[in-house]
Amino acid sequence: MAEPAAEEQRFSLREVLDTFRSCLSENREVLVADYVAGWRGLVRFLNSLGSVFSFISKDATNKIQILDNFLQSENRVHYASVQSMVQFELENELVDLTKRGKFPESGCRTLLRLHRALRWLELFLERLRTSGEDGKTSAMCSEAYNESLAQHHPWIVRTAAGVAFCALPGRATFFEVMNAGAPDQVVAMLGDALPLISEVYQVVEDVYAHNDLLQLP
């Protein structure tokens, strides 16, 4: 008998893109449940690349879980969108604004970590999309990282990340794991996806910038 559970576990780039697509509502609210679902898909992809990446996927999973808990809490209506979450947590003083204190796991600071990682994803996928057949994924990955997330990570994390990047498979294998068809189809799909990811990133960036939350500890 076929194993649906195993099939569900299989990463599909299209599915992940669809969840990121559905996370922007008509009035440009970013829906937290879909945002988190998109991340869950990406983590599944990362896990399929091997255990060298597990320290990264554990951190991402942990943050997804924190947000999931809010989505299931009695305050869940306030966590429906990034906009409502920010408003709710700020109004009720549930965020450590300048140094870590009573709220080390606020929704705002937790989502900010994923938001910064989304910028890495955008830069990385754009490099992947425009790369040639012999493009080096590890170089693309570390360039994207240095331009984004690295600025927020201490030396020890940057070093560990650098080591992990060396274990990335080549472009061809990478495209296969994405499970989105032949390389030219993957490239086309990335072309469709990137404006979407950028838009989600930009909306969240604007909300955080407007509320002066981009440096939350």
Ligand X SMILES: CCCCCCCCCCCCC/C=C/[C@@H](O)[C@H](COP(=O)(O)O)NC(=O)CCCCCCCCCCCCCCC
Binding stretches for ligand X (CB under 6 A)? 13, 42, 45-46, 53, 55-56, 59-60, 113, 116-117, 120, 141, 145, 149, 157, 161, 168, 178
As measured in angstroms, the least distance from the Cβ of 158 to ligand X is 8
As measured in angstroms, the least distance from the Cβ of 31 to ligand X is 19
As measured in angstroms, the least distance from the Cβ of 76 to ligand X is 22
As measured in angstroms, the least distance from the Cβ of 94 to ligand X is 16
Nearer to ligand X, 56 or 86 (CB): 56
Other beta carbons within 10 angstroms of residue 213's beta carbon come to 20
Amino acid at 9: Q
As measured in angstroms, the least distance from the Cβ of 145 to ligand X is 6
* Distance separating alpha carbons of residues 147 and 213, to the nearest angstrom: 20
Nearest 5°: phi and psi at 24? -100, 115
* Distance separating alpha carbons of residues 154 and 54, to the nearest angstrom: 18
Q: Write down the residue that tokens 């679902």 correspond to.
A: 37
Structure tokens at 32: 């937290």
* Distance separating alpha carbons of residues 85 and 76, to the nearest angstrom: 9
Three-class DSSP labels, 75-133: CHHHHCEHHHHHHHHHHCCCCCCCCCCCCCCCHHHHHHHHHHHHHHHHHHHHHHHHCCC
Nearer to ligand X, 79 or 165 (CB): 165
Q: What CA–CA distances, in Å, run from 198 to 112, 194, 205?
A: 15, 6, 10
Nearer to ligand X, 26 or 175 (CB): 175
Nearer to ligand X, 28 or 126 (CB): 126
Provide the strand spans (E) within the chain: none
As measured in angstroms, the least distance from the Cβ of 80 to ligand X is 23
Nearer to ligand X, 31 or 114 (CB): 114
Nearer to ligand X, 100 or 210 (CB): 100
H or E element, residue 149: none
Cα dihedral sign, 14-20-25-26 = negative
